[in-house]
Amino acid sequence: MVVRVGINGFGTIGKRVADAVARQTDLRLVGVTKTRPSFEARTARQRGYPLYLTGDGKAEEFAAAGIPIAGTLSDLLGQVDVIVDCAPDKVGRENVRLYEAANVPAIFQGGEKADVAEVSFSALANYPRAKGKRRVRVVSCNTTGLARAASVLAPRYGIEHWEATIVRRAADPSETRKGPINGILPTFKLPSHHGPDVRTIFPDLPIATTAVVVPTTLMHVHVNHVRFARPPASTTELVDAFRASPRFHVFDEWEHVEGTPQVMEYARDRGQPRPDVMENVLWANGIKVEGGDAYFFQAIHQESIVVPENVDAIRAMFGLAPDAATSILRTDESLGIPRP
Ligand SMILES: NC(=O)c1ccc[n+]([C@@H]2O[C@H](COP(=O)([O-])OP(=O)(O)OC[C@H]3O[C@@H](n4cnc5c(N)ncnc54)[C@H](OP(=O)(O)O)[C@@H]3O)[C@@H](O)[C@H]2O)c1
């Protein structure tokens, strides 16, 4: 079975999910949408992705730019088995009625509230729960990072308490109108929304989160303190537990990765189609077990971490793989994400 996929919204997340879908043998990318001509519309054309009008897009603007259009969103919806909504925050909810009217199942992103979908999804945590669902939400970049870490830690060690401070990037690299340029902005919602969002996947997880926004575009960094019920015997055991999981990358001290700039430089060096890091990034010397407590940093590449999760969400909905491990392996091999 090959599942036909449309992508509604071809921005930061949508263009990456489109490229990822196009690499799968059990999925077929039918088309992507844009509201206006832009360099990304040209990219879609160069990659051979049929382009459809969405939102308040105007065909004459595309004609003036010399970018051919294959139709409208409703034409795209008529040809797909699933639509991946990658529209800006909160626009996904407005799009629900269009998907329902066309009777097309949909995947939403983390900018939508959890009740937009029947299930919030993270492949390592709850892959089977998406089976047969018509509306699935892939959780946000920070929530994906925390949910993956919970998938490693909770079953092995039991979590009694977890505090995480999310050091958030201010904007994506292409978002020239966002700030701050110079300042650290506390998020005056205490605790922050990230903890409740992780609990849409792990309902009983005793996690409390706070957040600050800092002037960088590269990645988020989570500062974690976890108290375990059955703690690992040593720091080495915990480092090895992270290393043994798919979608984790642990740098050694000798690699001299001082922070997110070197992580992104590593991404450029390793030569994947995009210089992205779809894994949770940890440092062996940034993980420490002390009695029943553990401390660890993890960096999250906000632009790409949810990309493999969207591919797995489609497989999970349509039963295209027997289990999470098979889907994750297939996705990661196709995207060049190294195996543990
Ligand atoms: N960027 C991140 O760090 C990140 C990480 C994880 C999850 N997410 C979530 O992913 C979703 C998309 O975020 P993003 O960062 O990819 O946003 P983005 O870069 O702004 O891309 C969204 C694209 O949607 C298009 N669009 C505008 N109105 C639309 C409509 N009515 N219907 C369909 N598409 C429309 C816009 O393209 P045009 O040029 O065609 O107008 C825009 O480029 C959000 O829910 C966000 O919270 C983002």
Q: Is 181 strand, coil or helix?
A: coil
Q: If you measure from the C-alpha of residue 88 to the centroid of ligand 1, how many angstroms do you get, rounded to a whole number?
A: 4
**Would the CB of 224 count as within 6 Å of ligand 1?**
no
Q: Is 136 strand, coil or helix?
A: strand
Q: If you measure from the C-alpha of residue 99 to the centroid of ligand 1, how many angstroms do you get, rounded to a whole number?
A: 17
- pLDDT, tens digit, for every residue of 34-89? 999 999 999 999 999 999 999 999 999 999 999 999 999 999 999 999 999 999 99
- Within 10 A of 102 (CB to CB), how many other CB atoms are there? 15
**Would the CB of 110 count as within 6 Å of ligand 1?**
yes
Q: Which atom of ligand 1 is nearest to the CA of 55?
A: 31
Assigned fold of 141-300: Dihydrodipicolinate Reductase; domain 2 (3.30.360)
The contacts of residue 45 (CB under 8 Å, 6+ apart) are: 51, 67, 68
Q: Where are the beta strands (DSSP E) in the chain?
A: 3-8, 27-34, 51-53, 71-72, 82-85, 106-108, 119-121, 135-138, 159-169, 185-186, 207-214, 220-228, 248-251, 280-290, 293-300
- Rounded-to-integer distance, Cα 28 and Cα 4, Å: 5
- Rounded-to-integer distance, Cα 272 and Cα 264, Å: 12
pLDDT of the residue at 340: 86
pLDDT of the residue at 178: 94
- Rounded-to-integer distance, Cα 317 and Cα 261, Å: 36
**Would the CB of 8 count as within 6 Å of ligand 1?**
yes
Predicted confidence band at 28 (pLDDT cuts at 50, 70, 90)? very high
Q: If you measure from the C-alpha of residue 69 to the centroid of ligand 1, how many angstroms do you get, rounded to a whole number?
A: 20
Q: Which atom of ligand 1 is nearest to the CA of 141?
A: 6
Q: If you measure from the C-alpha of residue 269 to the centroid of ligand 1, how many angstroms do you get, rounded to a whole number?
A: 27
Assigned fold of 3-139+306-335: Rossmann fold (3.40.50)
Tell me the CA distances in angstroms from 24 to 18, 50, 104, 334, one per residue in order: 10, 17, 20, 7
Listed by start position, the domains of the chain span: 3-139+306-335, 141-300
- The percent of the chain in helix, strand and coil, each rounded to the nearest 5, is 35, 25, 40
Q: If you measure from the C-alpha of residue 12 to the centroid of ligand 1, how many angstroms do you get, rounded to a whole number?
A: 6
**Would the CB of 303 count as within 6 Å of ligand 1?**
yes
- pLDDT, tens digit, for every residue of 199-232? 999 999 999 999 999 999 999 999 999 999 999 9
Predicted confidence band at 185 (pLDDT cuts at 50, 70, 90)? very high
- Of 41, 141, 299, 320, catalytic: 141
**Would the CB of 42 count as within 6 Å of ligand 1?**
no
- Rounded-to-integer distance, Cα 300 and Cα 146, Å: 10
- Rounded-to-integer distance, Cα 12 and Cα 87, Å: 10
Give the rounded distance of the alpha carbon of 137 from its chain centre: 11
- Rounded-to-integer distance, Cα 27 and Cα 36, Å: 26
Q: Computed from CA positions of residues 22, 326, 157, 263, in that sequence, does the dihedral angle turn out positive or negative? A: negative
Q: Which atom of ligand 1 is nearest to the CA of 108?
A: 45
Catalytic annotation present for 141: yes
**Closest Cα to residue 196, out of 131, 114, 261?**
114
Stated pTM of the model: 0.98
Here the tokens at position 255 are 């690699």
